[in-house]
Amino acid sequence: MSERPFHDRDGFIWFDGQLVPHREATVHVLTHAMHYGSSVFEGQRAYDGKIFKLEAHTARLRTSANMLGFDIPYTDAEINAACYELMKANGLTNCYIRPVAWRGSEQMGISAQKTKIHVAIAAWEWPSYYSMEERLKGLKLDIARYRRPAPYTAPSAAKAAGLYMICTVSKHAAEEKGCADAMMMDYRGRVAEATSANIFFVKDGAIHTPEPDCFLNGLTRQTVIELARKRGITVNERAIWPEELSDFEECFLTGTAAEVSPVSQIGPWHFTVGEITRQLLTDYDNLVWGRLTNAA
């Protein structure tokens, strides 16, 4: 049986300051965000009732909105409290949480100065993006056709809905080839990230990861870098060119949805699910589940 569609579920969604029944959390078809991508969002997880790095996620939501030229009409404290209120109303302790802010339907056209800014938060049970069996076997990635845009062509540091259009296209193309995801290059032809996760490589006991100068510097990415450095592992944030991939031994992805997910193949390049990848997968799981109290 297929999963129930997201518009037809029980429970509640926090919508513009109040809890409303899930099925009633709707917007008009002429909402500006639907036509022009004027929307920002976050993805965060709760483990045993505690939302991991909630304050950082909310701060990034506000920063993303500001990059798109609008202000969120709720304080960070109000949004944080709403996330927990929603979890309690829905009886959730281990779940995925999706805050989203967007321009409404008061004005249609490129100019949207008079639109109302709306905020909603949804939550649902969502296990790890990939099963533990898939993660330990290693994911197979395609190479995306589209590239991450230059920061002078789009607000690349924002978690903005419009920036994910090419990600959906790329992931669909990868899945049609039997792959789990796709690796994207940046506008210069350097390695950038996967469609919704940052990417890391391992060589000679050190980690190498692309510098996030034209894509999102993920909070999970930052967490994993901290965990690696606490173990004394060198982490190099630098430009990585595709021709280097044949020299790397291990590869893994990081993200709120993906958590830490090993990669076994990208196009013609193969990797092992090695010691460093397995260690960081374990360290991250221990951290978010509260079993690693001395980590950031």
Q: Which residues does the annotation mark as catalytic? A: 159
Nearest in space to 151 (alpha carbons), one of 124, 188, 183, 120: 188
Q: How many Å apart are CA 124 and CA 95, to the nearest integer? A: 5
**β-strand partners of 191:** 185
One-letter-per-residue 3-state SS of the chain = CCCCCCCCCCCEEEECCEEEEHHHCCCCCCCHHHHHCCEEECCEEEECCEECCHHHHHHHHHHHHHHCCCCCCCCHHHHHHHHHHHHHHHCCCCEEEEEEEEECCCCCCCCCCCCCEEEEEEEECCCCCCCHHHHHHCEEEEECCCCECCCCCCCCCCCEHHHHHHHHHHHHHHHHCCCCEEEEEECCCCEEEECCCEEEEEECCEEEEECCCCCCCCHHHHHHHHHHHHCCCCEEEECCCHHHHHHCCEEEEEECCCEEEEEEEECCEECCCCHHHHHHHHHHHHHHCCCCCCCC
**β-strand partners of 261:** 253
- How many CA within 13 A on the CB side of residue 239? 6
Antiparallel, parallel or unpaired: β 181-185 and 139-143: parallel
